[in-house]
C-alpha cells in the first residue's frame, strides 16, 4: 500500500459521516421512486468505495501485518521524524472517520455485512496497536507527533463506544488507557494541539477513567479566547486562513464539550455556544464547495483538503440542525 493510497483512505474516512445518517432524518425528502433508487445506489456506491479503501488497512492490521504490507514514501524535504508514525496516523485518523458508520446496528444487507467485517478487523487492530509484542505496535513512546494521532485514535472510541470500546478485552482496555495517559509527557504547542490533549482526557471521562481537568479546561478557555468571530477560531494567537477549523478545531472542540456537557450548567452553556459557532462556520463552509464538489485550495496542509467536510459531516451525523 503506497502513501498515496493512504491519503485516499483518509479522505474517505473524513467524508464517511455524511452517509451515516438516514436522509429523512436530516430533512431531505424524496419526491419520487426514481429518487429513492438513486439515493440507494449512491449509498451503496459510497459504502462499497469505503470498504475497498478500508479493507487493505484493517485486514492487514488485524493480522499484525500493516507495517509489512504498507510501504511509506516521504518527501525529499522530510523533517527527519520517525517515519513509522505514519502507521499511527493511518490507523487513528481512519478510525475516527469510520467510527460513525460502524456505530450503526447490524443487519443482513450487503452494507451491514461489510460493516460487520470492518468492525471485527478494527477490534483486532486496536489490540495490535497497543500490544508491545505485535509487529503493528504503534509509535507511542517517541517524539510529540503521536499525541496528535492519538486524539483521532481516542475520538473513534468516543464516537462508537459500544462497537469499538466495550467489546475489547480487559488487557487491551488497560493498555489503551496506559498508552494514552503516558502521552501526557508531550507538551502541546500553543495552538490547536491543545485539543489533542483534551480529546484524550475526554475519552477517559467517557469510559469512567480518571482524567486531568486542567488539560480540558485550559484547552476550552484558550479556544474561547482565540475566537475571531463569525464562526472562526484563530489557531493560537494569530489567525490562519486555512482549513484547521475543519480538520481539528471545530469538530474536536464540540465533541470534547459534548462529553462534559451534562457535568454542569457552565459546560452545557459552553457546548451550546460551540454548537452555534460550528453551525455558523459550516454555513460558510458549505458555500465554499465548488460545482465539482471540492473545496478551494488555500492555506496549510492541502493534502487533507477533503477533511474540510468534517464539520458538515458531524452536524449531519448528529442531526444538529442549523439555528439562526
pLDDT in tens, 49-98: 999 999 999 999 999 999 999 999 988 888 888 899 999 999 999 999 99
pLDDT at 11 over 50: no
pLDDT at 115 over 50: yes
> Could you identify the residue written with the cell 508514525?
85
pLDDT at 4 over 90: no
> 55 by DSSP, 3-state: which?
helix
- In residues, how long is the chain? 324
Tell me the mean pLDDT in the region 253-276.
Answer: 94
**pTM score, whole prediction:** 0.87
Question: Percentage of the chain with pLDDT > 70?
Answer: 87
**Predicted pLDDT at 175:** 98
314-324 per-position pLDDT tens digit: 999 999 876 55
Banded model confidence at residue 8, pLDDT cuts 50, 70, 90: very low
pLDDT at 9 over 60: no
198-251 per-position pLDDT tens digit: 999 999 999 999 999 999 999 999 999 999 999 999 999 999 999 999 999 999
Residue 226 DSSP one-character state? T
Grid cell listed for 152: 483521532
| Calculated CA dihedral for residues 225, 228, 233, 235, nearest 10 degrees | -80
Amino acid at each position: 500500500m503506497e502513501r498515496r493510497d493512504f491519503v485516499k483512505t483518509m479522505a474517505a474516512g473524513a467524508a464517511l459521516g455524511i452517509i451515516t445518517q438516514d436522509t429523512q432524518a436530516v430533512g431531505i425528502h424524496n419526491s419520487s421512486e426514481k429518487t429513492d433508487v438513486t439515493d440507494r445506489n449512491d449509498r451503496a456506491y459510497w459504502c462499497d468505495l469505503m470498504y475497498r479503501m478500508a479493507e487493505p488497512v484493517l485486514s492487514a492490521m488485524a493480522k499484525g501485518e500493516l507495517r509489512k504490507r504498507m510501504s511509506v514514501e516521504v518527501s525529499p524535504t522530510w523533517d527527519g521524524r520517525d517515519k513509522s508514525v505514519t502507521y499511527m496516523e493511518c490507523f487513528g485518523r481512519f478510525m475516527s472517520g469510520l467510527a460513525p458508520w460502524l456505530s450503526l446496528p447490524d443487519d443482513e444487507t450487503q452494507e451491514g455485512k461489510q460493516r460487520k467485517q470492518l468492525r471485527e478487523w478494527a477490534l483486532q487492530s486496536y489490540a495490535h496497536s497497543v500490544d508491545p509484542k505485535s509487529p503493528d505496535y504503534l509509535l507511542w513512546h517517541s517524539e510529540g507527533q503521536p499525541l496528535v494521532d492519538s486524539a483521532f485514535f481516542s475520538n473513534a472510541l468516543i464516537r462508537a463506544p459500544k462497537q469499538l470500546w466495550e467489546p475489547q478485552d480487559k488487557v487491551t482496555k488497560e493498555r489503551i488507557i496506559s498508552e494514552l495517559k503516558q502521552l501526557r509527557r508531550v507538551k502541546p504547542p500553543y495552538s490547536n494541539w491543545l485539543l489533542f490533549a483534551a480529546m484524550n482526557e475526554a475519552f477517559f471521562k467517557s469510559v469512567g477513567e480518571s482524567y486531568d481537568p486542567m488539560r480540558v479546561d485550559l484547552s476550552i478557555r484558550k479556544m474561547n479566547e482565540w475566537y475571531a468571530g463569525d464562526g472562526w477560531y484563530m489557531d493560537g494567537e494569530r489567525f490562519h486562513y486555512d482549513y484547521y477549523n475543519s480538520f481539528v478545531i471545530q469538530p474536536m472542540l464540540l465533541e470534547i464539550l459534548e462529553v462534559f456537557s451534562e457535568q454542569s450548567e457552565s459546560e452545557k452553556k459552553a457546548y451550546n455556544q460551540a454548537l452555534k459557532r460550528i453551525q455558523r462556520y459550516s454555513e460558510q463552509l458549505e458555500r465554499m464547495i465548488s460545482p465539482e464538489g471540492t473545496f478551494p485550495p488555500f492555506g496549510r496542509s492541502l493534502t487533507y483538503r477533503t477533511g474540510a467536510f468534517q464539520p458538515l459531516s458531524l452536524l449531519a451525523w448528529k442531526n444538529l440542525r442549523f439555528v439562526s
